[in-house]
């Protein structure tokens, strides 16, 4: 079947990338990912931070921005950004955000959606107020089971429909790490990352981290906003064969990201010296279950060694791993990393296929060359 050609994001949106060092994804919305070697920092610099938009960038007037909480609450409330900052305790949470579609490009057969390679992941220190404190101020009704998050960005197809309206199970919305953030890495949140307010939902896929948040609609059922239903950001409940299309009723919302790791040094294409010891390093993270260990291979997965793991700074931050090896074979070599979590899940060597190409946590591979 012939597919219509994919248009690229409009020029005025592409210009906003400025000094960002990102690979732009072919898509009608602005989407761009990091090169793994630019992610070699405990906190990802803004210029290496991936961008994922489901629609057009909205026009923002931060000075007049308000956030409303309504729905299944006893008191509906609205705050300006300044009121939010002065009414509630401000907290910092360091957490990884990963797009559920990261790694989709490696799926075979290919699946629809932005064709991310390895770079739709980052780690930042987020500053904001707890979503929990807002919900408590409004008083949750007994039948409150989910939040629905709303923003002004609309689809690129001209329909005017919201680009994305996702939500969280009420237990996650009430969990202390779930924030309404207004700053990242000590700087005001940039427009591209959701200024003036965004959701921070550590452990959940990036899609749950609603940008440009102006309403939290407390629901008495699983939120059914844009991209919450059908097969969007959902995985089949049972393993499926590559190419198989189970019924949408067999899918469940992704509420936890799998254990994963990324080699950030050396860079793809690096030339290593024969017989000279060199370091392989990167980061490991997972959703709610902590990382337990990381193994590294310098021979495409034939043999593995344990990497040293730096202590976990914070529950949802990524952890630095390092291993050393001495290249003993000239020519092309494939470096690999695979992490395990405390529940015993280990990254697979090859991608596990699913119809929408989500949560690919296959071991990262970096191709290098060894020369005398
Ligand atoms: N309003 C709004 N929020 C959004 C999105 C969006 O399209 N619109 N995309 C989501 C997805 S799918 C991801 S992965 C993250 C990406 O955040 P970033 O662009 O700051 O990296 O934002 C989420 N929040
Ligand atoms: Mo995403």
Give the list of residues 6+ apart from residue 370 with CB closer than 8 angstroms, or none: 271, 272, 273, 274, 327, 329, 330, 331, 332, 333
Give me the pLDDT at residue 292, please: 98
Query: Which of the 8 DSSP states describes residue 140?
Result: B
User: For residues 297 and 323, what is the distance between their CA atoms, to the nearest angstrom?
Assistant: 9
pLDDT digits over 94-111, tens only? Answer: 999 999 999 999 999 999
Ligand 1 center to 211 CA (angstroms): 6
Q: Report which DSSP code applies to 57.
A: P
Confidence of residue 176 (pLDDT cuts 50, 70, 90): very high
The dihedral sign for the CA sequence 244, 248, 251, 256:
positive
From the centroid of its chain, how far is CA 355? 19
Which pLDDT value is given to residue 1? Answer: 45
Least trusted range by pLDDT, from 3-12, 66-75, 169-178, 316-325: 3-12
Ligand in closest contact with the CA of 121: 1
Confidence tier at 313 by pLDDT (50, 70, 90): confident
- What is the mean predicted confidence (pLDDT) over 353-366? 98
Q: Is the CB of 206 under 6 A from ligand 1?
A: yes
**Residue nearest (by alpha carbon) to ligand 1 atom 5:** 53
Residues with CB under 5 A from ligand 2 (ion): 52, 99, 206-207
Which is nearest to 193 in space by CA: 79, 28, 50?
A: 50
Domains, the chain, in order of start with CATH, read 11-253 (3.90.420.10), 260-371 (2.60.40.650)
The answer to whether 167 and 148 are in contact (CB under 8 A) is yes
Query: Which of 3-17, 175-189, 190-204 has the least mean pLDDT?
Result: 3-17
Q: Which of the ligands is closest to the CA of residue 51?
A: 1
**Is residue 8 scored above 50 in pLDDT?**
yes
DSSP 323-363: EEE---S-EEEEEEEEEEETTS-B--SSPPP-TT-----PP
Residue 217: strand pairing partners? 70, 148
The Cα 236–Cα 229 span in angstroms is 13
Asked if pLDDT for residue 206 goes beyond 60, the answer is yes
Q: Which ligand 1 atom is nearest residue 211's CA?
A: 3
Q: Which of 88, 89, 68, 65 is nearest to 77 (CA)?
A: 68
DSSP labels, 215-258: EEEEESSS---TTSSTTTTEEESS---TT----GGGEEE--SPP
Distance 206 CA to ligand 1 centre (A): 6
**254 touches 167 (CB < 8 A):** no
Mean pLDDT of 35-64: 97
Determine if ligand 1 sits within 6 Å of the CB of residue 52.
yes
CA-angle at 230, arms to 224 and 233, nearest 5°: 85
| Cα distance between residue 47 and residue 19, in whole Å | 7
Here the tokens at position 93 are 């949470």
List, in order, residues 6 or more apart from 302 with CB less than 8 Å away: none
CB of 193 closer than 6 angstroms to any ligand 1 atom: yes
Q: What is the mean pLDDT of residues 255-275?
A: 98
Residue 210 alpha carbon to ligand 1 centre in Å: 6
Q: Which ligand is nearest to the CA of 126?
A: 1
Encoding tokens for residue 240? Answer: 């499926």
**Tokens 């700074």, residue located:** 313
The alpha carbon of residue 143 and the mean position of all alpha carbons in its chain are separated, in whole angstroms, by 30
351: preceding bond cis by omega (within 30 degrees): no
Average pLDDT of the chain to the nearest whole number:
96
| Max CA pair span of the chain | 72
Indicate whether 46 pLDDT > 70: yes
Residue 18 CA to ligand 1 center (angstroms) comes to: 19
């Amino acid at each position: 079947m012939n597919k219509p050609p994919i248009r690229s994001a409009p020029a005025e949106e592409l210009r906003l990338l400025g000094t960002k060092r990102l690979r732009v994804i072919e898509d009608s919305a602005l989407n761009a990912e990091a090169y793994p070697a630019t992610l070699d920092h405990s906190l990802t610099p803004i210029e290496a931070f991936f961008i994922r938009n489901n629609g057009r960038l909205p026009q923002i007037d931060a000075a007049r921005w308000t956030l409303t909480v309504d729905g299944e609450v006893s008191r509906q409330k609205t705050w300006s950004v300044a009121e939010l900052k002065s009414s509630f305790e401000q907290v910092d949470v360091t957490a990884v955000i990963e797009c559920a579609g990261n790694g989709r490009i490696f799926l075979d057969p290919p699946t629809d959606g932005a064709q991310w390679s390895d770079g739709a992941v980052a780690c930042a220190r987020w500053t904001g107020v707890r979503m929990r404190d807002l919900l408590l101020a409004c008083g949750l009704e007994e039948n409150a089971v989910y939040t629905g998050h709303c923003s002004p960005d609309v689809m690129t197809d001209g329909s005017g429909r919201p680009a994305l309206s996702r939500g969280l199970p009420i237990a996650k919305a009430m969990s202390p790490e779930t924030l309404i953030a207004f700053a990242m890495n000590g700087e005001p949140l940039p427009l591209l990352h959701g200024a003036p307010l965004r959701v921070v939902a550590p452990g959940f896929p990036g899609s749950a981290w609603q940008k440009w948040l102006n309403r939290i609609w407390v629901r008495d059922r699983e939120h059914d906003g844009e991209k919450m239903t059908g097969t969007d950001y959902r995985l089949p409940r049972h393993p499926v064969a590559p190419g198989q299309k189970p019924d949408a009723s067999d899918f469940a919302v992704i509420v936890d990201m799998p254990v994963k790791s990324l080699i950030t040094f050396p860079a793809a294409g690096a030339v290593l010296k024969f017989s000279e010891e060199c370091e392989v390093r990167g980061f490991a993270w997972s959703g709610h279950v902590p990382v337990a260990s990381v193994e590294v291979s310098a021979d495409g997965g034939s043999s593995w060694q344990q990497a040293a793991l730096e202590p976990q700074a914070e529950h949802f931050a990524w952890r630095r791993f390092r291993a050393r090896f001495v290249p003993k074979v000239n020519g092309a070599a494939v470096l690999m990393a695979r992490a395990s979590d405390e529940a015993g899940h280990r990254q697979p060597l090859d991608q596990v296929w699913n119809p929408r190409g989500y949560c690919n946590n296959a071991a990262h591979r970096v191709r290098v060359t060894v020369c005398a």
